[in-house]
Amino acid sequence: MKDFSSILATAKETILLESTSIANLTTLLDSDFEEAVKYIYNTNGRVIVTGIGKSANIATKIVATLNSTGTPAIFMHAADAIHGDLGIIQKGDAVICISKSGNTPEIKVLVPLIKNSNNKVIAITGNKDSFLGKNADYTLNSFVEKEACPNNLAPTTSTTAQLVMGDALAVCLLDLRGFTSKDFAKYHPGGALGKRLYLRVSDLIDKNEKPQVVSNDVVAKVIVEISEKRLGVTAVTSSEGKIEGIITDGDIRRMLNKTTKIDSLTANDIMSKNPKTINQTAMAVDALETLENNSITQILVTDDNKKYVGVVHLHDLLKEGIF
């Protein structure tokens, strides 16, 4: 019967081995890395990232990271490049070649072809003395002592090192470009991440009812308004639309616990004055922060003239994945 007792120990050993190897990359950084970043930053072309085998898989991830952080990039498989895809590379493009050994047959064929077209080559390799290391214009050393694979064969630690080196390039370029969260939102419009960066309060209130009463409205009308608009709250406003208070379904329950004689009560008698509000132009994530900091589930929304325009409920933020 198979012994499973070593699973956690093996996992921990793998993580520690890889983390140590990644930390060691800081000692391998030299002027070539700095010059490579400057070259990519100043080029008018794109970044073509290529590799073969597991290095090709890493190349696709580096391409995705570069594209999402403001550096246009394209993946080119090294084997396909020497069988017709070399035309992907245009004048002014920078080419990143990834290879642990730096001596694969495809790389040996590809690198001279790239350089013959006057494109510069940036190598990410674990062997600076390899064909790739010696023929690249800039060589980024991703050497690792040992793969996490117990046979020291399957690319594990080495591919992680390649990926981290690519991340380091991307982040340095991001920093040089002054890439902001607004730029990030432009490239990430989908999903919860994008919504956190671009969705505004005004986008949320458009989908909601607008519960509203005035201060002299009777409590019966307040109850109907809260019930019909189904947000658990209503704003109490002046005739000009300025917010005077707020009444929640909790306020209604507390009132009924005190008295059932509600005929003579008005909104003014049970409302909470000076409620929390937020401008409709604020980011939705700011509305979430206000709700969390004040332990509330709804917030009233105003326009630039401080007039009431709607309600944002915690459920609205949950539906959008901003939580």
Q: What is the pLDDT of residue 185?
A: 64
* N-term to C-term CA, the chain: 46
Same domain as 205, residue 147: no
Bridge partner residues of 132 (DSSP): none
Identify the residue whose tokens are 């290391």: 133
Give me the CATH number covering residue 241.
Answer: 3.10.580.10
Same domain as 33, residue 136: yes
Q: Is residue 192 part of a domain?
A: no
Per the annotation, binding residues for Zn(2+) are 77
Q: Report whether 297 contacts 320 (CB < 8 A).
A: no
Tokens encoding 125: 């390799």
Per-residue pLDDT of the chain (323 residues; tens, 9 = 90+): 677 888 999 999 999 999 999 999 999 999 999 999 999 999 999 999 999 999 999 999 999 999 988 899 999 999 999 888 999 999 999 999 999 999 999 999 999 999 999 999 999 999 999 999 999 999 999 999 999 988 888 899 999 999 999 999 999 999 999 887 766 666 665 655 666 667 889 988 888 899 999 999 999 999 999 999 999 999 999 989 999 999 999 989 998 888 877 888 999 999 999 999 999 999 888 999 999 999 999 999 999 999 999 999 998 888 877 76
Q: Is residue 313 part of a domain?
A: yes
Per the annotation, binding residues are 77
Dump pLDDT digits (tens) for 224-280: 999 999 999 999 999 899 999 999 999 899 988 888 778 889 999 999 999 999 999
Cβ-defined contacts of 286-295 (< 8 Å, 24+): 286/201, 287/201, 287/204, 287/312, 287/317, 288/314, 288/317, 288/322, 288/323, 291/317
Q: Report whether 290 contacts 299 (CB < 8 A).
A: yes
Same domain as 219, residue 143: no
Give me the CATH number covering residue 151.
Answer: 3.40.50.10490
Segments forming the whole domain that contains residue 289? 201-319
Same domain as 273, residue 217: yes
Same domain as 146, residue 263: no
Identify the residue whose tokens are 């909470």: 272
Tokens encoding 30: 């030299």
Q: What is the pLDDT of residue 68?
A: 87
Burial (CB < 10 A; 0-12, 13-18, 19+), residue 277, is: middle
Q: How many domains does the chain have?
A: 2
Predicted structure pTM score: 0.68
